[in-house]
Structure 1
Amino acid sequence: MLRPLFGGRARRRWIHLILGGALAMPYVLVGSVFIGPFTGVDNVFGSLPLQLGSFALGLPVAAVTSLFPLTRPLESTAVRALCGIDGDALAHGPARTPAERARTAAWFTLHLGLGGIISGMSLSVPPAAATLIVLPLLAALGHPLGLPVLDHGWMLALDPVAGLAGLVALAACAAGCGALLARWAPALLGPTPQDRLAAAEARAADLAVRNRLARELHDSVGHALSAVTLQASAARRLLGTDPEFVREALAAIEETTRRTVGELDAVLGVLRDGDAPGTAPAPTLAGDLDGLLRRTRAAGQCVTATVDTDPAALPPLVSREAYRIVQEGLSNALKHSGAPVAVRIATADGHLEISVENPLGRAAAPRPGGGHGLRGIADRVRLLGGTAEAGPSGDTWRVAVRLPLKAT
């Protein structure tokens, strides 16, 4: 029951309020400079009403000084550390627009106002409460300190209760003010809806880039490793019986690895330099379809290809994504079946049609972190506004894709 008043979060918020009271002291002194001559009183701090007047006069001055650029970052840092507010709910930089400056001024005034009140209570209530708590003991000792005590025993008995109630009331006021500040902090120190929208768009753009890089790495490196593995395995089996095949397999391994290193460097160049191009261009059907088929066949895989369109006439974006789709289809066939693979590429009704078929072979053993190839194909097709189907069709496994030639 006492945790909301004396728990760790309540204590940290109390400290935050006392910090606001400490920040308010210079403004109270500025206010006293004007209150003293106006009232004709030399000692302003000897009168509680004049102290409150100085405090009220200093708050507008605090609102003006809150326009200093570092005010919002410093206040946001204090709120994150002491009020338990998520950092994403608060702005990190200085206020730039008039609306942001107005909210910062409102927050700074609220923080110093409530902080000054709670700080004053924290200085005055505990000594008074302690005095009330020990009054019965002082009365029993014959008031050795000369403090005035009440003669009625029943009233003396209530003094400790009143002292404890004062301490609880102080804690309740501090907890309530701290909760109020914590509630208002995101509204006054947080980003605007436009800022949140811009941040969400930036995160979405970053995620899109990450997904694109993941697809490129999976398709290029994954296909290369699958092809090299099968090429090396076939070369090892035929090392003593077919030297010519072994020579071709080793040459294919060399070409595959060299080309993949270039593609990997291009992808890593995006990671290093934003969207700056790497040292190797992205492969396309027009540029490397024959090489892709040749390297796949060098692994011992029988691949037949029917191309009923001119790859050079395809839009560059469609040609690039189509290359990756064919590459992933061949990679699946290499990993999951040793049967012949049939690739067909054609255009019809303003679409590029791609199909990769192979007889159903042995089931591949699942591998940790694998199995993203078909999802990558689906992502590429969706981004181009096409359709994709993958799955068994009779005795064959078929990947069928339609891409609009005027992809957006």
Structure 2
Amino acid sequence: MSEFARFLFGRRARRRWIHLILGGALAMPYVFVGQLVVGPATDSRYVFHDLPLQLLSFAVGLPLAALTAALFPLTRSLEAGAVRSLCGIDAHRLAHGPARTRAAKGRTAAWFTLHLGFGGIISGMSLAVPPFAVFLVALPFIEWPADNRLGLPEVLDHAWVPALAPVAGLAMLVGLAACAAGSGTLLARWAPALLGPTPEDRVAAAEARAADLAVRNRLARELHDSVGHALSAVTLQASAARRVLDTDPEFVREALAAIEDTTRRTVGELDAVLGVLRDGDAPGTAPAPTLAADLDGLLRRTRAGGLRVTATVDADPEALPPVLSREAYRIVQEGLSNALKHAGDQVSVTLRIAIADEHLEISVENPLEHTPSCRPGGGHGLRGIADRARLLGGTAQAGAAQGVWRLSVRLPLKGPA
């Protein structure tokens, strides 16, 4: 019994009743338009006073409602929002955007017609039934004039009518609640089928998630390469400066200047990346570094930490495409950063950048005997290099060979952007 009472008068039932009344309110403009059609067609001046004509106006207005839903794609978004809030349907079962395809528009039109149809009927019952039910419940306590000047039906003169009237009134209220709960349950059951995402919507959502994930992965690579390289370089620069603090003041000054330059540039790049991650913030204005703009500066700051870097550049950085130049800069930066972190500042690193067979070739080498095993949790840098190379249509290889740790990257000059 409690389950039945909850079905009729529970919180969910009440919210769905409100949803139906909202549908009835939305149906009223279409009913008025239907009256403009039914009145002249039936030669009736007072359609509003005739219940059959009102129902006919309602029937004429529903196709107009379906046409409205088909013509305005945002109807699906508005209806789905109302269903999520009032009918207790999980958000993932409903579409979030406007109806774009013909199938989606057709289903939205069908839903809108059902919502307004059921809502109009339940709204009319909600207006008419409660007052009459209250009248029946109060009937035994009302004294009528003996001369029946109120024009009441003669059936009220029977003695059994006042005795059964309260029961009939309560039954009418329960029947109204049952109609509202049943209609609300039907609409809630049909909502996912009519307002749910179409296959095209699911594909679009998957593509949007993939694009968002790609952006986040790119930002993660930027943070790893930029901040990771800066921390490694600054750590070694500070360590080298501390060791020769009393014997080589000139080197200390160069190391401190390199630390200042490295941190200033990294803060700018970090602000640019975080600006993209923060909702509502515009991206930072720090330009992305490229080989053309900062290869010499990158080598200078790396050498300031004591790492001996021999660089051979057989390519014109100014002639490289901007995207290729930017990604190549990050690859070189990560290669030098790996040497700093894993080989230390006591080895010599050989960097070579050249163009061969319409490809930009980058190699970073350092002696293997000075390179300790990878730190726990490491490997993100090499994975990031491989991702960058793959997105540009190139290849990346890293490993030990003949006592040398070698990173080799090959990028097409005219690859996918």
TM-score, normalization by structure 2: 0.70
C-alpha contact (below 8 Å) 2:241/2:251 kept by paired residues: yes
C-alpha contact (below 8 Å) 2:132/2:169 kept by paired residues: no
The answer to whether residue 183 in structure 2 is matched with residue 174 in structure 1 is yes
Aligned position for 2:372: 361
C-alpha contact (below 8 Å) 2:115/2:187 kept by paired residues: no
**Distance change in 2, residues 1:300/1:98 (3 Å):** closer
Shift of 1:42: 6.6
* Separation in structure 1 between the aligned mates of residue 301 and residue 362 of structure 2, nearest angstrom: 23
Question: Could you report, residue by residue, the CA deviation over 1:344-376 in whole angstroms, capped at 9, with x for unpaired residues?
Answer: 53666665252444433276476xxx8642332
Aligned position for 1:115: 119
Aligned position for 1:340: 347
* Separation in structure 1 between the aligned mates of residue 158 and residue 31 of structure 2, nearest angstrom: 33
The answer to whether residue 82 in structure 2 is matched with residue 78 in structure 1 is yes
**Distance change in 2, residues 1:70/1:327 (3 Å):** closer
C-alpha contact (below 8 Å) 1:335/1:364 kept by paired residues: no
**Distance change in 2, residues 1:148/1:325 (3 Å):** farther
The answer to whether residue 289 in structure 2 is matched with residue 282 in structure 1 is yes
Shift of 1:181: 5.3
* Separation in structure 1 between the aligned mates of residue 178 and residue 272 of structure 2, nearest angstrom: 66
RMSD after superposition: 4.7
Equivalent AA in structure 2 for residue 15 of structure 1 = I
The answer to whether residue 35 in structure 2 is matched with residue 24 in structure 1 is no
Count of residue pairs the alignment pairs up: 389
**What is the DSSP-based 3-state SS (H/G/I as helix, E as strand, rest coil) of the residue aligned with 1:241?**
coil
* Separation in structure 2 between the aligned mates of residue 227 and residue 374 of structure 1, nearest angstrom: 18
C-alpha contact (below 8 Å) 1:390/1:397 kept by paired residues: yes
Equivalent AA in structure 2 for residue 293 of structure 1 = L
* Separation in structure 1 between the aligned mates of residue 241 and residue 218 of structure 2, nearest angstrom: 34
Q: 2:58 aligns with which of 33, 55, 58?
A: 55
Shift of 1:227: 0.9
* Separation in structure 2 between the aligned mates of residue 78 and residue 150 of structure 1, nearest angstrom: 46
C-alpha contact (below 8 Å) 1:311/1:319 kept by paired residues: no
Return 5+ residue gaps in structure 1 as ranges: none
Return 5+ residue gaps in structure 2 as ranges: 145-155
The answer to whether residue 391 in structure 2 is matched with residue 373 in structure 1 is no
Alignment of 1:218-297 (within 5 A): 218-260=224-266, 280=287, 282-284=289-291, 288-297=294-303
* Separation in structure 2 between the aligned mates of residue 289 and residue 58 of structure 1, nearest angstrom: 71
C-alpha contact (below 8 Å) 1:10/1:178 kept by paired residues: no
C-alpha contact (below 8 Å) 1:249/1:298 kept by paired residues: yes
Shift of 1:79: 3.6
**Distance change in 2, residues 1:243/1:171 (3 Å):** same
Equivalent AA in structure 1 for residue 113 of structure 2 = T
Equivalent AA in structure 1 for residue 56 of structure 2 = G
Question: Could you report, residue by residue, the CA deviation over 1:33-53 in whole angstroms, capped at 9, with x for unpaired residues?
Answer: 554565566765665433322
Shift of 1:78: 3.1
How many percent of aligned residue pairs carry the same amino acid? Answer: 61
C-alpha contact (below 8 Å) 1:9/1:84 kept by paired residues: yes
**What is the DSSP-based 3-state SS (H/G/I as helix, E as strand, rest coil) of the residue aligned with 1:211?**
helix
**Distance change in 2, residues 1:378/1:41 (3 Å):** same
* Separation in structure 1 between the aligned mates of residue 381 and residue 31 of structure 2, nearest angstrom: 68
Alignment of 1:141-160 (within 5 A): none
* Separation in structure 2 between the aligned mates of residue 347 and residue 30 of structure 1, nearest angstrom: 74
* Separation in structure 2 between the aligned mates of residue 292 and residue 38 of structure 1, nearest angstrom: 85
Equivalent AA in structure 2 for residue 8 of structure 1 = R
C-alpha contact (below 8 Å) 2:129/2:176 kept by paired residues: yes
Shift of 1:98: 8.1
C-alpha contact (below 8 Å) 2:110/2:194 kept by paired residues: no
